[in-house]
A = this chain, B = another copy of it.
Amino acid sequence: MRIGTLGNGLMAEALARHWAREHEVMIGGRDPGRASELAGRIGSQAGTLQEATIFGDVLLLALPAEVAVDAVRGLEIPPGRILIDCTNAIDQQDFTLAEPAMAERIARAVPHVHVVKAFNLAADSVWKRPPDGLGVPLCGDDPAAVTRVGQLISDLGCTPVPAGGLGRGKLLEATAALAIGIWVTGGDVRRMFPPLDAAFGSVRPGQPEAPDREEEIGAGPAEAAEVGPRRRRVGVVEAHENAGCADEAEQHHHSGDQAAPAQPS
């Protein structure tokens, strides 16, 4: 792949250093001197933002959130380019979002480009040397673009975690704001989530189901029916339809410690 970075800061350095080992990279900067300096450190080319835009099939948008939208709007980006948005518009006063949906705003600014949200859940220093088995969620509407960004995630030794369309990018941004605000106070974000096999609750992947539950398979949301093993789906969907709020009306489906059935569609 040919990769152009829009920005030559810490994020661009952390990611492009990995990619420069296997791909052609051009560091694009607003300041030619700094772009050259980084390019020299990681063994890549340097250019202006516009030159990097033309150079790369895949573009990494690693400018501050405050200037990112105007910057991409000001560039001539060839149609069909893939743009990875790793920005977070964090309000540093209270660690909320200053801008509720950056990725969608960027996509509206450059509608001829395939925007993929990724790499926004961790700091540049994490990307430098990702911990073993780190999953990297990514959101995008174009399947081919998501696949290519997934390859770039794998190049870091990480695992791509498909997280839906770009409309879910704002959830990824909110999650980053939550996580950063917790990390700065010393809280452990990873441990706030059950391990995968526990997240499913009563019905676990690979666990046999009672025969009378077969007819209920597929009663969950349409999306859940598209992916994953059949058995897994049921447990998750039923468990998480009740996540955070359980209707009393559902109570009659439930008895003791057994798994609650999926909801009728």
Which residues of A line the B interface, CB within 8 A? 7-13, 29-31, 34-35, 37-38, 41, 62-65, 68, 86-88, 90, 92-97, 100, 119-126, 128, 130-131, 133-137, 159, 161-165, 167-168, 170-172, 174-196, 198-202, 205, 220-224, 226-229, 232-233, 236-237, 239-252, 254, 256-257, 259-260
Contacts and interface: CB of A to CB of B under 8 A. Distances in A.
Most buried by B among A191, A199, A228, A243: A243
A181 B168 contact: yes
A195 B242 CA distance: 28
B252 A34 contact: yes
A135 B188 contact: yes
A138 B57 CA distance: 42
A191 B228 contact: no
Given A96-B171, A100-B100, A126-B199, 10 more contacts: A9-B250, A93-B223, A94-B165, A120-B244, A125-B259, A135-B188, A171-B174, A175-B175, A184-B233, A189-B199
A187 B175 contact: no
A224 B135 contact: no
Contacts of A232: 186
Given A95-B223, A131-B195, A251-B37, A9 B246 contact: yes
A248 B9 contact: yes
B236 A136 contact: no
